[in-house]
Structure 1
Amino acid sequence: MSNTAAAPATQVRSVVVEREIAHPPEKIWRALTQPHLIQEWLMKSDFKPVVGHDFKFSADWGSVDCQVVTVEPNRTLSYTWGAYGLESVVTWTLTPISTGTHLRMEQSGFRPDQQQAYGGAKVGWARFFASLEQVLARPG
């Protein structure tokens, strides 16, 4: 069997959220990488922006096991995101624009049988982004 004819069961999907945010990449980077700020818009964590660092996001419903994959300060951050059978990767991309920063988040790795997780992620990330924007709107 050739690799060109992938069966539908092997197709994975991604959740993508993009926003133009009126803040410089450095400020957004802090909100993405400092645990006390991450807790305000996402979840409690023991995150460190160090490649290979294992960490957890914790919430009242459970936790997410993660490992840092990529760290390019003020530009790119990615980490694995594993919970309830979902093995995915979250990638943040920060691109400077004239009005601030174009922020893109992609969570990839949803299998076709993970429709509930996919739907939950679409709703969840929209909420997380709204909370992130509130954190960023504060002076500092």
Structure 2
Amino acid sequence: MSDATPETRAVVVEREIAHPPEKLWRALTQPHLISEWLMKTDFAPVVGHDFTLRGDWGSVDCRVLTVEPGRMLSYTWDHVHDDPAFDLRSVVSFTLTPTATGTHLRMEQTGFRSEQKQAFGGARHGWQEHFTNLERVLAGLA
């Protein structure tokens, strides 16, 4: 019997954002701003805080894992489905790196099992769309 964990895949999205890390951090951590670019939520940037992301299609249960203001944020992303084969237990991490023109934002969502092709594809497409919405929200912030 093997102790190896099943192989998983990750979705990685990187984007240069023409805003400073502090401004981006606000959009990643303030619930009213998160609801404008991602989903409605009761998020709080406190390690161990349980929160929910709610969309038209359902909800995601989350727990804050890492909070390094202006630098790093991570949380679990658990979507329980009626069919357990579609359950997704993953971790989303945001890394912010200051650049000469703003911030390099890297998002990584880990934990997609090899048979979760639809969830993986949906996340790859969805995060690109969310980041476009995020840039729109940032453009409207003072």
TM range, smaller chain: over 0.9
Please give the root-mean-square deviation of Cα atoms over the aligned residues, in Å. 1.3
User: Is 1:39 aligned to 2:35, yes or no?
Assistant: yes
CA distance in 2, matches of 1:103, 1:42: 15
The superposition leaves residues 7-59 of structure 1 with CA deviations (integer Å, 9 ceiling, x where unpaired) of 8xx11100000011110000000000000000000000000000000000001
CA distance in 2, matches of 1:38, 1:104: 17
- Partner residue, 2:117: 115
Describe how 1:38-117 pairs up with structure 2 within 5 A. 38-83=34-79, 84=81, 85-117=87-119
Shift of 1:139: 3.9
Question: What SS does the corresponding residue of 2:103 show, helix, strand or coil?
Answer: strand
- Partner residue, 1:136: 138
Shift of 1:138: 1.4
Please list every run of 5 or more consecutive structure 1 residues that lacks an aligned counterpart in the other structure.
none
CA separation of 1:101 and 1:33: change in aligned 2, threshold 3 A: same
Shift of 1:113: 1.1
Question: What SS does the corresponding residue of 1:77 show, helix, strand or coil?
Answer: strand
- Partner residue, 2:84: none
CA distance in 1, matches of 2:64, 2:2: 33
- For 1:36, the aligned partner's letter is H
CA distance in 2, matches of 1:139, 1:52: 28
Question: What SS does the corresponding residue of 2:44 show, helix, strand or coil?
Answer: coil
TM-score (structure 2 length as normaliser): 0.92
Question: What SS does the corresponding residue of 1:49 show, helix, strand or coil?
Answer: coil
Question: What SS does the corresponding residue of 2:65 show, helix, strand or coil?
Answer: strand
TM-score (structure 1 length as normaliser): 0.93
CA distance in 2, matches of 1:23, 1:69: 25
Question: What SS does the corresponding residue of 1:95 show, helix, strand or coil?
Answer: strand
- Partner residue, 1:124: 126
